[in-house]
Amino acid sequence: MADGVKVVIDTNNVSRLHLIDATCELMDLVVDTYGDQGVGDLKQLALKTCCTSLPTTFSNHDISDTDVALFVAGYSGKCSLRRIMEDPADLRLLVCALKHPGSTLISCDKRLLMLADESKQAHTCFKAAIHKVDISVGGLFSDRSYNTLQMFDVHGDDPFFHYNRNTKCPVCDPSNTCRTKKTPPTPS
């Protein structure tokens, strides 16, 4: 894998991305906003029925079982690694991000986000990533080619997608530094 800043994308973001962008081309803007190269678990991405072009635009994480075992052996924190390892790609993605300084992990898995925070790894959830893209390129929320209005649904219940739900923010951002949590975007 080439050197450079990576944006490590957890596959659980793909279905949320597909809700607002049927082509999933918005992922290119996410990658450009956060780093030089998108990285994911290509085996998991290949199993997705939506956003089928993503496996060709991402690099694989290239993290071995040994890399994961070394992380687990050296881990002494509070998070339950057993629960995180229920998704076999999650620890690989975190280890990948940790191996590439300046990289960001984007996930909607509360335990993985908590472990990233505990590991001092830059991380964010899907809705905060989309907010940062809007700030970076401008006009994302007013561009009707993206179905972002549903992210502002006051009755929405997905804390990683709907801006009105912040129930998982304390897990992901216990130090209250998240710009999206402090100043949520407004629909255009």
pLDDT in tens, 107-116: 999 999 999 9
Bridge-partner residues for 165, per DSSP? none
Print the domain residue range for 151: 6-182
- The pTM of the full predicted model, rounded to 2 decimals, is 0.93
Angle between helices 88-99 and 110-118 (to 10 degrees): 30
Residue 66: the pLDDT is: 97
Instruction: Answer whether residue 141 is part of any domain.
Output: yes
Instruction: Answer whether residue 135 is part of any domain.
Output: yes
Instruction: Answer whether residue 188 is part of any domain.
Output: no
Percentage of residues of the chain with pLDDT beyond 70: 98
Instruction: Answer whether residue 143 is part of any domain.
Output: yes
Q: How many CA atoms lie within 13 A of 145 on its CB side?
A: 6
Structurally, how many domains does the chain consist of? 1
Instruction: Answer whether residue 74 is part of any domain.
Output: yes
Instruction: Answer whether residue 1 is part of any domain.
Output: no
What are the pLDDT digits (tens) for 142-162?
999 999 999 999 999 999 999
Under-70 pLDDT residues of the chain: 1-3
Instruction: Answer whether residue 26 is part of any domain.
Output: yes
DSSP string, 81-138: HHHHTTSHHHHHHHHHHHHSTT-EEE---HHHHHHHHHTT--EE-HHHHHHHHHHHHS
Instruction: Answer whether residue 120 is part of any domain.
Output: yes
